[in-house]
Structures are given as C-alpha cells and as structure tokens.
C-alpha cells in the first residue's frame, strides 16, 4: 500500500505538529523545576512522558482512520492523540490543569479523553487493549462502521491484559488492530531482558491472527502494513498485531537521567530522527517543495503556540469541581 502525496504530507504535518507540541510542553514543564527538579512544581506538574521519536507509529496508523474509528492509547499519548485529531487546545489546557481542559483538569496528560474523535487512554501498562476489543465488539454487534486501534509499548506485551485481549479479539474475530511501539526500553529495562521472544509479532500466532514486524521507524512502511491491517479489520476479517521498531529520543519521563542507556545511543538516535529524514526524502523524490514543507512547519508552530497560549490564559480548574463528574 503506497501513500498518496496528500497522505504523505498529512503524515509529515502531524509528525511535525507532535514534535513542536512536545518541544513546547518540555519547555513549559521545566518552568519552576530548576535548579532543583521537583515534579510537583511549575505550570505543568506530575509525570511527563514524551513521545518524540515515535511519531511515525502514530501517523502511519492514524492516517487510515476517521473520527468514527476508535483509538485507545497509552501513558505516552501525545503523538497518538494529535494524529487522531484530538482537540489540541483542549488537550493542552488539560495538561496545564485548566478548567478548559478536555476533562476540566481531572485527568492530565495520562488521561486524555476526547469522545468527539473516539480517543481515550490509560496510564496503566497494557490496559489499552481490552477496551479496544470492547469498542470493536460494539461496532460489530451494532453493525456500525468503525475499527478500533490499541496502541501499546513493547513492555505492555508482557502484561496479562495484552494476552487476554488478543485472545478475545482472535476468538471473536474483532475489527481491532494492536500496534506495539517498540522503543526497546521499559523505563530502564531493555526489551532483551524482559521479553522471551525477540519480536512480539510472533506472539500473534498464539491468538489466531497475523503478526507483522516493521523495522526502521519508517512512516511509509508503517502506512503500508497498518493500512492492510485496518482494511482487513474493516472487511470483517479480524484482528492484526503489528510491532513497530521505534525509539524515544527522550527519557521514560522528564527528569529521567537515562543512565541506563549505553554511551552514544542517544546521539545515534538523533541522527536517525524520522522527521528530518522524511523531509529529506519528500524533497529528494520530488513529492514536495521546500516552500510546501516550510509552510507546514510554520503552520504547526503557530498551532502549537495558539494551544499553549490558550492553555496559559485559561482559568485554572476550580477546586470544587474536583468533587463533580464522578458520575454522569
């Protein structure tokens, strides 16, 4: 499956948007956290898991989805949320803990819910998988269009929830795709020390579904395989498991000293940064001009600036709202 020019530019745009967004979040996050790093301080408190480097996984999958499709995401959700079309202002305000946030400040960065585009996430490893099966079952039972995609990390593929969900999807032939973003680290533990198989795609065989492995953190390769899997789900042919080799350019969370990384690993990763790589390719094969790509980058920057400004200017969450919305 080959992307059209529009699809390529859409993927590039959303990768850039996600990167600019996280660069901005990173900057704000550090406000009030120097010289001594205290997670509770600053305009954005709490844990912060950045996804820079992993953008190709989100765009290569979500380019095939529409608002009516479902995405369940992880504790590292920004790139997935942006690629799924989650309201950027609302998400940013949520991360700032503002009243205008998607959930009025109740959830924060690990609990982004945007029902308008069927996006949700969970901060618990592996717990994106079961709800995706349920949403897929719902569509199947209602005869309504739409497929579900569960994103997870390679560490989550060792959780019981992952295996139970895959079995359920397999036995019920659900229209769901499981996408593992293998960034090779579960916080500080390398995949090789945590996972009994080298590649998780082989685990698909245990659940009666096809498994695919995608090397190279390459948006076009992801586009191809994800497109086939989503088409298969839409056609009622059942679930697929995909593992994508990717990498995070940041630590597990902000403040992570990353002492577990072998020397030189980060430098090598930045050299493989998928965004400049895609830009170079789009120019080299004549898909886009410098001017087109510059325009995309400028627009992304402006969009992020707008969202950050909106979040900063929004009223803080109200104390007493903490006691509401437990029930509808």
Partner 1 sequence: MLDQQTNERRLTIARAMAEAMAQEMRRDPSVFVMGEDIGPFGGIFGNTRGLIDEFGKDRVRDTPISETGFISAAVGAAMDGMRPVVELMFVDFFGVCFDAIYNQMAKNTYFSGGNSSVPMVLMTSTGGGYSDAGQHSQCLYGTFAHLPGMKVVSPSNAYDAKGLMTAAIREDNPVVYMYHKGLQGMGWLGTEPGATVHTPEEDYVVEIGKAKVVREGSDVTLVGLAMGVHNALKAADKLAEDGVSAEVVDLVSLVPLDRETVRASVAKTGRLIVVDEDYHSYGVTGEIIATVCEHDIGKLKAAPARVAFPDVPIPYARNMEQFCLPNADKIVAAYRAMQKAEG
Crossing angle of the two packed helices 5-30 and 88-95, in degrees rounded to 10: 20
Decide whether 215 or 316 has the Cβ nearer to partner 1.
Answer: 316
Say whether residue 315 binds partner 1 (CB under 8 A): no
Could you tell me if 297 and 30 are in contact, meaning their C-beta atoms sit under 8 angstroms apart?
A: no
For residue 205 the two structure tokens come to 């065989």
Say whether residue 153 binds partner 1 (CB under 8 A): no
Nearest Cα neighbor of 310 from 42, 22, 87 is 87
Decide whether 61 or 136 has the Cβ nearer to partner 1.
Answer: 136
Give the x/- contact pattern for partner 1 in 132-151, rule: CB under 8 A. xxxxxxxx-xx-----x---
For residue 7 the two structure tokens come to 């699809």
Decide whether 170 or 219 has the Cβ nearer to partner 1.
Answer: 170
Stretch that binds partner 1, among 36-44, 47-55, 166-174, 178-186 (CB under 8 A): 166-174
Q: Rounded to the nearest whole angstrom, what is the least distance from the CB of residue 19 to partner 1 in the complex?
A: 26
Could you tell me if 137 and 172 are in contact, meaning their C-beta atoms sit under 8 angstroms apart?
A: yes
Residue 104 φ then ψ, to 5°: 65, 25
Q: Which of residues 102-121 bind partner 1 (CB under 8 A)?
A: 102-104, 106-107, 111, 113, 115, 118, 120
Q: Rounded to the nearest whole angstrom, what is the least distance from the CB of residue 68 to partner 1 in the complex?
A: 10
d(CA 215, CA 164): 26
Say whether residue 70 binds partner 1 (CB under 8 A): yes
Sign of CA dihedral 246, 250, 253, 256: positive
DSSP 31-98: TT--SS--TT-SSS-S-----TT-HHHHHHHHTT--TTSEEEE-SS-HHHHHHHT--HHHHHHHHTTB
Q: Which of 14, 18, 51, 72 binds partner 1 (CB under 8 A)?
A: 72
For residue 221 the two structure tokens come to 């390769």
Q: Rounded to the nearest whole angstrom, what is the least distance from the CB of residue 56 to partner 1 in the complex?
A: 26
Q: Which of 168, 282, 293, 308 binds partner 1 (CB under 8 A)?
A: 168
Q: Which of 1, 171, 187, 205 binds partner 1 (CB under 8 A)?
A: 171
Site residues, partner 1 (CB under 8 A): 70, 72, 101-104, 106-107, 111, 113, 115, 118, 120, 122, 124, 127, 129-139, 141-142, 148, 160-161, 164-165, 167-168, 171, 324-328
């Amino acid at each position: 499956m080959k992307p059209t020019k529009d699809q390529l530019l859409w993927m590039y745009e959303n990768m850039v948007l996600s990167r600019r967004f996280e660069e901005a979040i990173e900057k704000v996050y550090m406000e009030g956290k120097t010289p001594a790093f205290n997670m509770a301080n600053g305009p954005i408190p709490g844990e912060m898991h950045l996804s820079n480097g992993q953008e190709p996984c989100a765009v290569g999958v979500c380019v095939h989805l529409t608002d009516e499709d479902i995405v369940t995401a992880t504790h590292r959700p920004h790139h997935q949320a942006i690629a799924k079309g989650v309201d950027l202002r609302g998400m940013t305000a949520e991360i700032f803990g503002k009243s205008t946030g998607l959930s009025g400040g109740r959830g924060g960065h690990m609990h982004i819910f945007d029902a308008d585009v069927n996006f949700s996430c969970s901060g618990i490893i592996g717990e994106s998988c079961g709800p995706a099966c349920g949403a897929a079952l719902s569509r199947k039972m209602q005869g309504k269009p739409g497929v579900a995609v569960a994103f997870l990390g390679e560490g989550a593929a060792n959780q019981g929830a992952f295996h139970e969900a895959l079995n359920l999807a397999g036995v019920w032939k659900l229209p769901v795709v499981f996408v593992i973003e293998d960034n090779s680290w579960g916080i500080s533990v390398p995949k090789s020390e945590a996972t009994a198989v080298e590649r998780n795609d082989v685990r698909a065989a245990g659940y009666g579904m096809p498994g695919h492995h995608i090397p190279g953190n390459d948006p076009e390769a992801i586009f191809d395989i994800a497109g086939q899997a989503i088409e298969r789900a839409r056609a009622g042919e059942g679930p697929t498991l995909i593992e994508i080799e990717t990498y995070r350019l940041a630590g597990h969370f902000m403040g992570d000293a990353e002492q577990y990384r072998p020397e030189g690993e980060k430098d090598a990763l930045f050299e493989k940064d998928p965004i400049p790589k895609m830009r170079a390719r789009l120019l080299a094969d004549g898909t886009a001009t410098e001017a087109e790509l510059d325009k995309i980058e400028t627009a992304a920057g402006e969009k992020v600036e707008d969202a950050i400004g909106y979040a900063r200017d929004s009223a803080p969450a109200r104390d007493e709202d903490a006691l509401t919305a437990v029930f509808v």
